[in-house]
Amino acid sequence: MAVIKCKAAVLWETHKPFSIEDIEVAPPKAHEVRIKMVATSVCRSDDHAVTGRHPMPLPAVLGHEGAGIVESIGEGVTSVKPGDKVIPLFTPQCGNCRICKHPEGNLCVKSKGQSQGTMLDGTSRFTCKGKSVYNFISTSTFSEYTVVDEMSVAKIDGASPLDKVCLIGCGFSTGYGSAVKVAKVTPGSTCAVFGLGGVGLSVIIGCKTAGAARIIAVDINKDKFAKAKELGATECINPLDYSKPIHEVIQEMTDGGVDFSFEVIGRLDTMMSSLLSSHASCGVSVMVGVPPHSQSLSVNPLLLLLGRTWKGAIFGGFKSKDSVPKLVDDFMAKKFPLEPLITHVLPFEKINEAFELLRSGKSIRTVLMF
């Protein structure tokens, strides 16, 4: 197998635009898979790496929400073959560690090395201008070709549209699973969702699928309310419209608080608002948004002592390699929509434009096509 020369979006330093570069992508080593990317979408977590909010080694090829076709496989790979449609997995599933064997856990022990920006063996498969370029959380989808570990890729239905199901690689699954798998929303229940980006809207889809009777959508950008209602929100409220704290408004609306609340922003103040919006004795509050690096929240233990549950999960609690193919099958069976989440489709070269759309709040998900 030969080195492949292709285009990739390289982030050389934080707070700078991506640079479309010619890079070399090395062949896959044992238990690795090289993928020809077809579509990738832009997620807020990528922007956190750009801004330095989540420190990553640079230069790097970012991107973690994508879909493509297997180009070649390394020695010992058995779960995929060249020509298979696949989704790279930023949360691996080795199948052998304590967490993979746990019935509920999904944050595979092998994911610990991801912040180092390398493959499992401690090296990268990307080179640009003679310099090694770091990998991003086992995926690096902002490249025409990428290399992933076999435990970080899932084979999916060969008939699935990659420009839609790429969202299952992160944003959709994270939100949807937070409702159906992590919170385990029950039929007839009340829910509150803080933050109406792509992941927050996916939480709403999950709450609706689970049969929630009331879904209260919360955002300071009222332009997002129409889409939230289209996907299942029964009420939309803007905290800026009230003189009292938003959790008090929600408590009054719901006889003391909702059954399930979700924070899908990643701010400490909204995490507290979401917690307080859930009922003190039976509420479940789920953290979905990724909080700022190394910041703490002080909490009165009485908020939990009376019976509240406060929990979080990565990737919607789904075991990635097992669940992603099933989620694609469910999409193909029309059990949930993905199309309403995609507001823009652009050629890959316009990646910086896609990030501007994200930062300005004008897009939900922008899909970049190779």
- Spot the catalytic one: 94, 108, 166, 170: 170
Torsion angle defined by CA atoms of residues 96, 99, 105 and 107, in that order, rounded to the nearest 10 degrees: -90
Look up 54 and say whether it is catalytic: no
Look up 48 and say whether it is catalytic: yes
Look up 111 and say whether it is catalytic: no
Both tokens of 26, joined, read 């090395």
- Spot the catalytic one: 41, 48, 277, 323: 48
Look up 43 and say whether it is catalytic: yes
Look up 124 and say whether it is catalytic: no
- Spot the catalytic one: 41, 45, 111, 320: 45
Under 8 Å between Cβ of 88 and 35: yes
Enzyme catalytic residues: 43, 45, 48, 64, 170
